[in-house]
Amino acid sequence: MSGFTAFFKKEIVEYLRSYKALILLCVFIIFGMMSPLLAKMMPDILSHQAINGITLNIPKPTFYDSFGQFFKNLSQMGMAVLLLIFGGVLSQDLSKGTLIMLLAKGLSRHAVILAKFAAALILWTASYAFAVMIQWGYTLYLFDKLPVPHLFFSLFCLWLFGIFILTILLMSSTLVGGAYSGLFLTTAALGALIVCQFIPGTDRFSPLALASDNAGLMTGAANLHHAVTAVWITVILIVSALAVSLVVFKKKSI
């Protein structure tokens, strides 16, 4: 446990020194501020645009629109930022050989994987929590509060999808070599999931549903039971990916 604690602290310090933690936090804070503002201003912008002489009459934005914009921003640009920040979570250490000395001194390989996962998880959770709090505050200020069904569950789904990305990144980094091979493999895996969504009936089992059905859960357009199924499948995949990372890294030649 002491090895885990020491390596975990080292990971946090490195994220702070490299400004990755600051960049992630600032970007997500901007998303939290920008989403309700965009939802508020977009109807005014579009209403002044005439297309072939036709003036668009946009309905007044609501509480739903603000969180819909928030989910859209984070599920697309937010996840892209997450991939870039943690893309070299293990691959860079392996390519540079920085772990050789630590492992030679007795650091457990399991401690390396678990510490890297824990550090990434905490940074992702903290950044996401700040974004949600700012989003919530701005939305309450700019819009009339409405009862939003399954809002907290929708927020939880997106948070869980972020954890899914982190574990796939970690597993990919143990499976392939190269500084950013894990990032490329993870991107390919997400691309495969997107392609699979075009197969009828598979969307209810896909982790991507956690990042695509959030707004639909609030309006009732998405099936809640399908989302719960996707949550359980994603949890199983997260645990499985973490287990594979531990097993593969333990046997990996460094």
Tell me the residue type at 203: D
Where do the domains of the chain lie? 2-251
- Spell out the per-residue pLDDT of the chain, length 254, in tens: 578 898 999 999 999 999 999 999 999 999 999 998 888 887 666 666 655 656 566 678 788 888 999 999 999 999 999 999 998 888 877 777 788 888 888 888 999 999 999 999 999 999 999 999 999 999 988 888 778 888 999 999 999 999 999 999 999 989 887 767 888 889 999 998 888 888 877 777 889 999 998 988 888 888 889 999 999 999 999 999 999 999 999 888 77
pTM across the whole model: 0.91
Can you tell me the distance from the alpha carbon of 252 to that of 204, in angstroms, rounded to the nearest whole number?
A: 35
User: If you ran DSSP here, which 8-state letter would residue 200 be given?
Assistant: T
Distance between first and last Cα of the chain: 22
The residue type of 103 is: L
* Gap between the Cα atoms of 120 and 12, Å rounded: 9
